[in-house]
Structure 1
Amino acid sequence: MNNMNYKIALQSKKMLTDGLLKLMITNDFSTITVTQICQEANLSRRTFYRLYESKEDILSEYLFFLAEEFKSIVNEAVPKHYIEVATIYFSFWKQHEDFLNLLKKNKMLEVIYNTAREMAPSVFKMVKPNTQLDVDILSFALSYSLGGLNGMLIQWVEDGMRLSSDQLAAILKQTLQIAVN
Structure 2
Amino acid sequence: MQKGQLHPAATLSKNLLAKGLFSLMQKKPFTDITIMELCEASQVSRRTFYRHFDNTGQVAAYQTRGIIDEFTAAMKEQKNRPYEAVIEAYFVFWKTHAPLLTLLNQNNLTYVIFTPYLTSLGELPWLFPPHGADHANQEEYFCVLAYHSGGLWSLLTYWIMNGCALSERTLAETVVKNNNAGGGGYTQE
Question: TM-score range, shorter-chain basis?
Answer: 0.7 to 0.9
The CA deviation string for residues 17-44 of structure 1, in whole angstroms up to 9 with x for no partner, is 0100100001111111111110101111
- For the structure 1 residues 39 and 79, does the alpha-carbon distance in structure 2 shift closer, same or farther, using more than 3 Å as the test? farther
Number of positions where the alignment pairs a residue of Structure 1 with one of Structure 2: 179
Corresponding letter in the other structure for 1:8: A
Secondary structure of residue in 1 paired with 2:125: helix
- For the structure 1 residues 158 and 127, does the alpha-carbon distance in structure 2 shift closer, same or farther, using more than 3 Å as the test? closer
How far off is 1:6 after superposition?
0.3
The CA deviation string for residues 145-174 of structure 1, in whole angstroms up to 9 with x for no partner, is 111001101110121111121111111112
- For the structure 1 residues 95 and 127, does the alpha-carbon distance in structure 2 shift closer, same or farther, using more than 3 Å as the test? same
| Contact preservation (8 Å) 1:90, 1:153 | yes
Give matches, 1:2-13, under 5 Å: 6-13=7-14
Corresponding letter in the other structure for 1:151: S
Q: Verify: 1:168 aligned to 2:171, yes or no.
A: yes
Listed as ranges, the gaps of 5+ residues in structure 1 are none
- For the structure 1 residues 5 and 165, does the alpha-carbon distance in structure 2 shift closer, same or farther, using more than 3 Å as the test? closer
Q: Distance in 2 between matches of 1:9 and 1:50?
A: 9
After alignment, is 97-106 or 153-162 more displaced?
97-106
How far off is 1:66 after superposition?
0.4
- For the structure 1 residues 10 and 112, does the alpha-carbon distance in structure 2 shift closer, same or farther, using more than 3 Å as the test? closer
Tell me the residue number matched to 1:38. 39
- For the structure 1 residues 36 and 10, does the alpha-carbon distance in structure 2 shift closer, same or farther, using more than 3 Å as the test? same
How far off is 1:81 after superposition?
5.3
How far off is 1:110 after superposition?
4.9
Higher normalized helix content (fraction of residues)? 1
Q: Distance in 2 between matches of 1:5 and 1:158?
A: 36
Query: In structure 2, which of residues 139, 161, 179 is the aligned counterpart of residue 158 of structure 1?
Result: 161
Moved over 6 A (4+): 1-5
Q: Distance in 2 between matches of 1:116 and 1:150?
A: 9
- For the structure 1 residues 68 and 44, does the alpha-carbon distance in structure 2 shift closer, same or farther, using more than 3 Å as the test? same
After alignment, is 41-50 or 101-110 more displaced?
101-110
- For the structure 1 residues 127 and 176, does the alpha-carbon distance in structure 2 shift closer, same or farther, using more than 3 Å as the test? closer
- For the structure 1 residues 70 and 125, does the alpha-carbon distance in structure 2 shift closer, same or farther, using more than 3 Å as the test? same
| Contact preservation (8 Å) 2:35, 2:46 | yes
How far off is 1:55 after superposition?
1.0
| Contact preservation (8 Å) 1:87, 1:168 | yes
Q: Once superposed, what is the RMSD of the aligned Cα atoms?
A: 2.6
Corresponding letter in the other structure for 1:116: Y
Corresponding letter in the other structure for 1:32: I
Give matches, 1:51-70, under 5 Å: 51-70=52-71
Tell me the residue number matched to 1:87. 88
Tell me the residue number matched to 1:72. 73
- For the structure 1 residues 35 and 109, does the alpha-carbon distance in structure 2 shift closer, same or farther, using more than 3 Å as the test? same
TM-score, length basis structure 1 = 0.86
How far off is 1:56 after superposition?
1.0
TM-score, length basis structure 2 = 0.83
